[in-house]
Amino acid sequence: MNAKQIWQTAIERLRTRVNSAVFTTWFQGTSALSFQDSVFIIRVPTTFAKAQLETRFQELIRSTLIDVTGGPVEVRFEVTKEQPSASDASSDQGSYRPAKRTYRLSKGRLSAPLRGKRVPPADGATTMNAMAPSTPPENAYRQKKEDYGIPQRSATSYNPEPASEPPTALSYVSYPEGQDIPAESIRKEPIKTQEYSPVHPSIEGLLNPRYTFSSFIVGKSNKLAHATSLAVAENPGRVYNPLFLYGGVGLGKTHLLHGIGHAGESAGLNVLYTTSEKFTNEIINAIRFQKTEEFRAKYRQIDILLVDDIQFIAGKESTEEEFFHTFNSLHNANKQIVVTSDRPPKAISSLQDRLRSRFEWGLLADVQPPEYEHRLAILRSKCDSLRFTVPANVIEYIARPVCSSVRELEGALNRVIAYATLHDAPLTVSLAAQALEHIYDTKPPVTSNLTVEEVFDGVCRYYNVNPQLVRGKQRDRDIVWPRQVAMYLMREETTASLLQIGSALGGRDHSTIMHGWEKVHAEIGNNEQVRQEIAAVLDSLQNRSF
Ligand SMILES: Nc1ncnc2c1ncn2[C@@H]1O[C@H](COP(=O)(O)OP(=O)(O)OP(=O)(O)O)[C@@H](O)[C@H]1O
């Protein structure tokens, strides 16, 4: 991916991580300038925006970029005026423009082998669209506009740059996920919003190179889904057809889907990866522009159809209808179909029975949240792929909370790494705790109902120390140790935040509290006597025997 593509992906993710007002105010109008030697330079329109992004969002942007690129990233901002657009290609500067939500007809594109067959690659330019005829790109592009009755601009307004990925031909109106537009009403609607815009390279519809079987860590929670996906990849159309992968968010369904896609592409098969939202929009546009025959032709020459988030087609009559026919035609021809969903077919209410029964026809395989050991293995593998050495106790710390999503786990790791890099600090448990404190609750569930005051009083009584001294600055071992035990127990046994604990202990900051916690935590792990001592303090607290 080049800088533009990376930024485009990153910005989409950032959009889901900040509220829309923040996004529009600070992220709109940014674009990628370059990405070299791990330094990612982002163009911003004003110095004010630069200051805001630097102070408030730099870390978030950096961790998102690390996530997208899979490697270390340093972020810089540069204030420059947007390039004056000599051509419409100015919209292809990797900048984000949220106002227009467009959909490209061929988001789910055909696999490389098929693209190769259909479009002569001689001039280095690439296919316009999976349904496009084998004409040179610019002609094909013009042809498409004519086909759809879209007024043409002069040829000079389109300035295709050599791209490593195929540009798509046209942009259409998009309909948000979950919203079905009946075909009838679409046909009657005057077409106002369609427009021709030179389409910038997009990774949508392409397979993510990072999502392969070799980078997928297998554990108890995903064993079946992995084994069946592998079997399907090795024998498409012959075993488990369709394969229905389901489970909660961020648990690797898309990863497996892409893994199957990569294997299919390597075998020279025509693979099409799409999401049900794209499929829906494609159908809507095909109906609108009387291109259903082309749509069908495109889908029926696929060897492996991969559809993500199939649950979203439920209740969308024309989409379900078309998918049903696509399904039958592929299945009859022994072509492989793999779909993912956040729930099993029988739990997708309003899905047509005939589709439900077809989904249940092949094999249903679920993915569950990874358990602790599995989380550790995933984190270790992510560290390897990031080429970052993270101490074992930090990995254990990150893996510790019950984490329902691997995406969250990855985000936590990226954040810790970004935090350490940003502060130029060693990766320690204390640093990880600081980095993650506001992201998700890294504490194990608190079972006691103790308050910080009760812990404080109890610890002082147990060690027979003066509370004033414990709150104060004295550094004698006799005072420091009870103070640290109080930090540890307050963190472990109460619901108080680090800030509250710090304030109960004489106004100490959160890093001091984490340092104390870490010290006691380590001692408990290494010294049986300390473990027993802390257990006794806890016992005294719980029995209120002080
Ligand atoms: N077992 C695994 N091994 C390695 N990486 C994993 C594993 N499971 C998930 N991931 C990673 O977690 C992230 C989220 O996974 P993915 O997008 O496949 O989840 P999903 O189940 O499709 O989620 P959603 O339902 O939200 O689309 C990806 O970066 C993926 O590579």
Domain ranges within the chain, ordered by starting residue: 3-92, 105-188, 372-436, 452-542
Predicted local confidence at residue 81, as pLDDT: 62
Element containing residue 172 per DSSP (H, E): strand 171-173
Pocket-testing residue among 375, 406, 414, ligand 1, by greatest number of atoms within 8 A of Cβ: 406
- Write the residue with the smallest CA distance to atom 29 of ligand 1: 407
417 CA distance to ligand 1 middle (Å): 20
Residue 344 pLDDT greater than 90, yes or no: yes
Contact 406 CB / ligand 1 (< 6 Å)? yes
74 CA distance to ligand 1 middle (Å): 25
Mean pLDDT of 163-184: 30
Q: Do the bridges between strand 102-104 and strand 171-173 make them parallel or antiparallel, or are there none, so unpaired?
A: antiparallel
Cβ proximity of 103 and 285 under 8 Å: yes
Pocket-testing residue among 16, 207, 254, ligand 1, by greatest number of atoms within 8 A of Cβ: 254
- Write the residue with the smallest CA distance to atom 10 of ligand 1: 252
Give the closest residue to 344 by CA, choosing from 371, 323, 363: 363
Residue 416 pLDDT greater than 50, yes or no: yes
Predicted local confidence at residue 308, as pLDDT: 95
Atom of ligand 1 nearest to the CA of 251: 21
Q: Do the bridges between strand 39-44 and strand 74-79 make them parallel or antiparallel, or are there none, so unpaired?
A: parallel
DSSP 8-state assignment for residue 239 = S
Count CB neighbours of 7 within 10 A: 28
Quote the CA–CA distance of 2 and 328 in Å, as a whole number.
39
- Write the residue with the smallest CA distance to atom 16 of ligand 1: 252
* Homologous superfamily in CATH for domain 452-542: DnaA protein, C-terminal DNA-binding domain (1.10.1750.10)
User: What angle, 0 to 180 degrees and rounded to 10, lies between the N-to-C axes of helices 372-386 and 392-399?
Assistant: 130
Judge whether 252 is annotated as a binding position: yes
Q: Give me the count of residues in the chain.
A: 546
407 CA distance to ligand 1 middle (Å): 6
Contacts of 227 (CB under 8 A, 6+ apart): none
pLDDT band at 544 (very low <50, low <70, confident <90, very high): low
Residue 162 pLDDT greater than 50, yes or no: no
Q: Among 170-179, 364-373, 469-478, name the one with the lowest average pLDDT.
A: 170-179
Mean pLDDT of 378-397: 89
Residue 10 pLDDT greater than 80, yes or no: yes
506 exposure class (CB count in 10 Å sphere: 0-12, 13-18, 19+):
middle
Count CB neighbours of 28 within 10 A: 16
- pLDDT, one tens digit per residue, over 431-490 is 888 888 776 554 555 556 789 999 999 999 999 999 999 999 999 999 999 999 999 999
Judge whether 253 is annotated as a binding position: yes
| Of residues 16 and 137, more confidently modeled | 16
Atom of ligand 1 nearest to the CA of 210: 31
CATH topology of domain 3-92: GMP Synthetase; Chain A, domain 3 (3.30.300)
Contact 410 CB / ligand 1 (< 6 Å)? yes
Q: Among 46-55, 63-72, 153-162, name the one with the lowest average pLDDT.
A: 153-162
Contact 251 CB / ligand 1 (< 6 Å)? yes
Predicted local confidence at residue 102, as pLDDT: 24
What is the CA 330 to chain-centroid distance, rounded? 30
Quote the CA–CA distance of 197 and 118 in Å, as a whole number.
23
Predicted local confidence at residue 330, as pLDDT: 94
The three-state (H, E, C) secondary structure of 87-154, written as one string: CHHHHHCCCCCCCCCEEECCCCCECHHHHHHHCCCCCCCCCCCCCCCCCCHHHHHHHHHHHCCCCCCC
Predicted local confidence at residue 260, as pLDDT: 96
Count CB neighbours of 167 within 10 A: 22
218 CA distance to ligand 1 middle (Å): 12
Contact 252 CB / ligand 1 (< 6 Å)? yes
Quote the CA–CA distance of 243 and 291 in Å, as a whole number.
29
Quote the CA–CA distance of 26 and 22 in Å, as a whole number.
6
Contact 407 CB / ligand 1 (< 6 Å)? yes
Atom of ligand 1 nearest to the CA of 255: 18
Residue 379 pLDDT greater than 70, yes or no: yes
ipTM rounded to 2 decimals? 0.99
| Of residues 57 and 42, more confidently modeled | 42
Atom of ligand 1 nearest to the CA of 256: 18
Judge whether 50 is annotated as a binding position: no
Cβ proximity of 26 and 14 under 8 Å: no
| Of residues 46 and 190, more confidently modeled | 46
Residue 144 pLDDT greater than 70, yes or no: no
Sign of the torsion angle spanned by Cα atoms 243, 249, 250, 251? negative
Mean pLDDT of 137-162: 28
Pocket-testing residue among 68, 226, 249, 255, ligand 1, by greatest number of atoms within 8 A of Cβ: 255
Quote the CA–CA distance of 212 and 266 in Å, as a whole number.
12
Query: Does the domain spanning 372-436 belong to CATH 3.40.50.1820?
Result: no
Count CB neighbours of 482 within 10 A: 22
What is the CA 59 to chain-centroid distance, rounded? 17
Which tokens sit at 425? 């600090």
Contact 253 CB / ligand 1 (< 6 Å)? yes
